[in-house]
Amino acid sequence: MRKLYGLVVCGGESSRMGMDKSLLVYHDKPQRYYLYELLRTLCDSVFISCNKKQSTTISENYEKIVDLDRYENIGPMAALLSAFDKYPDADFLVLACDYPFIKKEHLQELLNARDKKHLAVSFFNTETNFKEPLLAFYSNECYPRLIHQVNRKEYSLKHFLKEIEAKKIIPTSPETIISIDTPEAYQTVLETLALQSTII
């Protein structure tokens, strides 16, 4: 059985957020570290995917994969390709820092949906009508196909998931795929999480 590695995708500094979203705190620690530890409960190893600038800010307690120079300026695909370049025989469970409501059971949904007929599995956003490329499972069979797409100068992971007919699953909770891009949305999430904690 192939190794399953988790990949926490930091991205970069969001222009709308005004700061690195991976450093936002929803659950008592920066989101990149919270998600790293969440993935550790499901994966053989976990890595924080980051650019060179971010790499200097990541604690030595966490393993990381820095985007390779040859994938510079191609967006989130750089994270997945850099990971596959380093571990071509592994499968990856990919999770961006944008999703504050993600829980272990949601990730387990993705893993439970795996089958031999599909190279990837992703949550599906019914509002945008797109599969969520950074909330997805990618088998190692995706690697050569990703290389082929990059060679064609096509850098969209959404397009890639559509092209390979990745399996889509509808999240049982709409909150699962809510992503945060602005300071106002961040504050709203903090208020929601605080309310949920009092109910629990």
Which CATH number fits the domain that encloses residue 90? 3.90.550.10
Predicted structure pTM score: 0.94
Q: Under 8 Å CB-to-CB from 130, ≥6 apart: which residues?
A: 124, 158
Query: The domain containing residue 108 runs over which residues?
Result: 4-199
What are the distances in angstroms from CA 183 to CA 14, 20, 43, 188, 191? Answer: 11, 12, 31, 9, 13
Q: Between the CA atoms of 76, 78, 81 and 84, what dihedral angle is there, to the nearest 10 degrees?
A: -90
Task: Tell me the torsion sign for CA atoms 58, 97, 181, 156.
Answer: positive
Task: Give, for 146, the enclosing helix (H) or strand (E).
Answer: helix 142-151
What are the beta bridge partners of residue 3? none
Total count of domains within the chain = 1
Q: What is the predicted pLDDT for the residue at 181? A: 87
Q: What is the pLDDT along the chain (200 residues), one digit of tens a residue?
A: 789 999 999 976 667 777 888 999 999 899 999 999 999 999 999 999 999 989 999 999 999 999 999 998 899 999 999 999 999 999 999 999 999 999 999 999 999 999 999 999 999 998 889 999 999 999 999 999 999 999 999 999 999 999 999 999 998 888 889 988 889 998 999 999 888 877 65
Strand 130-138, strand 120-125: pairing: antiparallel
